[in-house]
Amino acid sequence: MNTSEQEWWRGSVTYQIYPRSFLDSNDDGIGDIPGITSRLDYLADLGVDAIWLSPIFTSPMKDMGYDVSNYTDIDPSFGTLSDFDEMIAKAHKLGLKVIIDQVLSHTSDQHPYFLESRQDQSNDKADWYVWADAKPDGSPPNNWLSIFGGVGWQWEPRRKQYYLHNFLRQQPDLNFHNPAVQEWILSTVRFWLERGVDGFRLDTVNFYFHDALLRDDAADFRQKSVVDWNPYHMQYHLFSKNQPENLVFLKKFRALLDEYGATTSVGEVGESHHPIEMMGEYTTDKRLHMAYSFEMLGHSFSPKHFSKQITEFFRLAPKGWPCWAFSNHDVVRHVSRWQHHAQDPTLLAKQACALLLSLEGSVCLYQGEELGQQETDLNYDELVDPQGIEFWPEDKGRDGCRTPMSWNNTQFAGFSSAPPWLPVKDKQRQRNVADQDHNPESVLNFYRGMLAFRKQNASLRSGNSRFINEENSLLAYVRGDTMLCVFNLSHQPVTYQNTSEFTRSVKHQHATVEEQNIQLEANGFAFLIR
């Protein structure tokens, strides 16, 4: 196997599927694996290299599958292992790699190992989760908080101890300081490698280890103009996550993947203080292949913001590799987040596509973004996400980006013949595959064309980046010394004084290219070569 085959992931484009919302094949209102299989041709035609499936394992669904009760089986709502095998086979036949989510930091409280662990302090699994005595006054062992609200500790009367949960109380944290836990986790990863998966997306990859001394987290030292809506963000999480032992475990994880040849891994770094630095640490020295943070999943939409992420990553980790995304299942869809930077959401959707697919690194697309899909407005009584239910209305949770995929403009958008698990609104139905499929001006066909353009230009897949303008709304950079990329990140027209040798336009939107001047209308962009 040559290097290019081994490193297929470098510069690749992965399409994230949220299985509950992709396609329902048996009309129970929940998307499933046979539904995914039936639409793999659509994804191959789109032009992506791989698909990533959010969790499909057996789960009570308190956090929509991110609370796993069996790591080596498929939840019945999604199908069976046979369905999964059929999906893998068809994907590979179409030339698509398959990446699956791995939730390794915590299990469901219904996992057999936790049910045993919580019984007493002397059973075989007693040290498989993070347990600690109460303080003399009965309060939790330290000040660690839960991302989903409240303290990060839950009392268990049978053991007369607290257990740690960084997320829901139904998601107890595993004790990675126990070598047996690490070996068991790696055995579940091997199970899926043996079934033919090509890689893993690692949920909350910086949460695996906790400080063994259980020291208090510090207050966040940053000055903020607005009080945080979630107390979790008021702390600097020095001890509840981000521990150095993580790096040692990730080398073990990587060694396992390397046994299987052309595999890959992409880690989600959930950290707000030094995420780019951590992405670099996690993707060097034979640890993860790629990592991403939330730095491009927020509201910032300026030339300096985008150039800083790329420049900082490769400065800190010249041998590392990033994976960038503008949307995923945890954040407001980017066309909605950035809408005040555009007059026309369709133009913004196309520009964002061109920008993302020209950034140095690998890329993840989130289902529906190829349609220019926007956030769904939901009422409180329509929510199922515990985050939205807890922090409403300041934070409306993640359901708005998880509503069903719009395949056509029928009642349930072609997703199902039954009422779906989350509602389909008129706004989402209007942006559907059927209506855009044969429209040459559609966002869908723009994505198809841009993905093909990226594949045809090695400089966009693997060339280095040299930023030459990041002032005001103008972003300009050269990829691989062969292509100039210029973007107007605003809804006001601007002129770029082109003093480079790149003068021939090969792709543009709302732009007029002359020898020395590039006129860029609202959300315009241009790609130029010599």
Q: Which helix (H) or strand (E) holds 428?
A: helix 426-429
Q: Residue type at 105?
A: S
Q: What is the rounded CA–CA span in Å between residue 388 and residue 398?
A: 7
Query: Which amino acid type is present at position 95?
Result: G
Q: How many CB atoms lie within 10 A of CB 121?
A: 12
Name beta bridge partners: 478. Answer: 466, 484
The distance between the two most distant Cα atoms of the chain, rounded to a whole number of Å, is 77
Which one-letter DSSP state was computed for residue 412?
A: T
The string over 12-30, giving b where at least 16 C-beta atoms fall within 10 Å of a residue's C-beta and e elsewhere, is bbbbbbbbbbbbbbeeebb
* d(C-alpha 402, C-alpha 332), whole Å: 10
- 101 by DSSP, 3-state: which? strand
Q: Give how far Cα 380 sits from Cα of 57, 274, 427, Å.
A: 28, 34, 18
CA distance 106 to 411: 38
Q: How far apart are CA 399 and CA 414, in angstroms?
A: 19
Using an 8 Å Cβ cutoff, are 301 and 355 in contact?
no
Q: How far apart are CA 362 and CA 322, in angstroms?
A: 6
The DSSP string of 279-345 is HHHHTSSSS-SEEE-STTSSS--SHHHHHHHHHHHHHH-TT--BEE-S--TTS--HHHHTGGG-S-H
Which sequence positions are flagged as catalytic?
203, 259
149: helix, strand or coil: coil
Q: How far apart are CA 227 and CA 230, in angstroms?
A: 9
Whether residue 418 contacts residue 29, with contact meaning beta carbons closer than 8 Å, is answered with: yes
Nearest CA-CA partner of 200 in 52, 305, 356: 52
The dihedral formed by the CA atoms of 67, 69, 75 and 81, expressed in degrees to the nearest 10: 130
Burial of residue 194, with CB atoms counted within 10 A of its CB: 0-12 exposed, 13-18 middle, 19 or more buried: exposed
Alpha-carbon gap, residue 197 to 97, rounded angstroms: 8
Q: In one letter, which amino acid is 504?
A: R
β-pairing, 362-366 vs 323-324, is parallel
Backbone phi and psi for residue 404, each to the nearest 5 degrees, phi listed first: -55, 150
Instruction: Please name every residue paired with 200 in a beta bridge, in sequence order, or none if there are none.
Output: 100, 265
